[in-house]
Structure 1
């Protein structure tokens, strides 16, 4: 088992995390804003600077106009198409999106529209898959639509809890589409997930807490949720990226 047998993707919450992912040896990043909402489309400036600084790590961009469910209105789809075109013009290597019908099935029409805009780019169907009502049927439909990979935790809160379904999906895919195991993947469990599933692509954040630079704090005022720690930032670190990769590669089969 060698490094070349695997791909590692970092969920990057900004340019700083992108650079840490690259330094740590990641193959690509999924650049996101709005991490507390599960990831939303990053800004034009974020994509531009990340593209300039990422020289050895591929840049994928999430296309998600808001948090919440994955049933999108015509206006939301129009914005998503525009964001895909912008990401392509800025030099992103791939995009990440996913659209569902209200019954939990794959929205073939909406996804086809977005795939047409993303032609020539690598395309991942994100964890909307974990909200699908029939994952077996959904996998076949995503293959037919032309997606390159599926990011999934096996329809469980974390990938290490979803290994049973991940293993079944990996066998079902049989090389026709890539399974990208993600959510809760870290240096303590990545080898066990691989051993249970055989999956060779992994998505993780490898973040650490960094104290903010504000010296003055007003405990009465919050910019978001009152229970959020707004004086501490979370960034990917090269140390944790390397540690997670090594905990899989260095342990061998």
Structure 2
């Protein structure tokens, strides 16, 4: 994976949201038997939710899928069985039973559903996940955008089963420093530039990586070992502000 995915050869960079996701996962795994096993990890895009879930997947041997825009219930179950290394057989009901049985064999093994907002767009998909969690007794974590908890509120049967709602947080200067140290060794980013990158990036890991990449290009082009705000100069930051409309005046061609 590339730097923009917050991944290095040794694994995920230990950002705060990685710790938050692991805390959520471990709480669901160690819950009392009478408590529900569902959790929700939510936040704006670019906060590193997916990367945090991949870290937890690697640490806990979780089953993890990212829901596709065009998925049906059958496709969802087929993908779960693929991750479980099981050959899908039979009807949709048969596929669901295969998933329940496999996850029920190891009820501490988490089921992680990324892009979970898409479950709510297709009739019955959320109920299938609820049923799998209820029958298998395994931890189930949905990952989605900032409004996911509010969207789930109208689905009472699922909403009532959520034991923990954990919101992803913006990356701070400490997270920016961790990314810089892990992804771009050999060049030091000064504290003033780290703080400004965190601010200009709106705390979003993807934008932070883009800005760090610009800092590395600057260091390479100028032969610098340390890049600070002064060295950054007029270089544009990758921000959440889209470019404004351009006003282009048409030039008339003169007659020959």
**TM band (smaller chain):** 0.3 to 0.5
**The structure with more strand, counted as a fraction of residues:** 1
Relative to the length of structure 1, the TM-score reads 0.35
Relative to the length of structure 2, the TM-score reads 0.35
Higher relative contact order (CA 8 A, sep 6+): 2
**The structure with more helix, counted as a fraction of residues:** 2
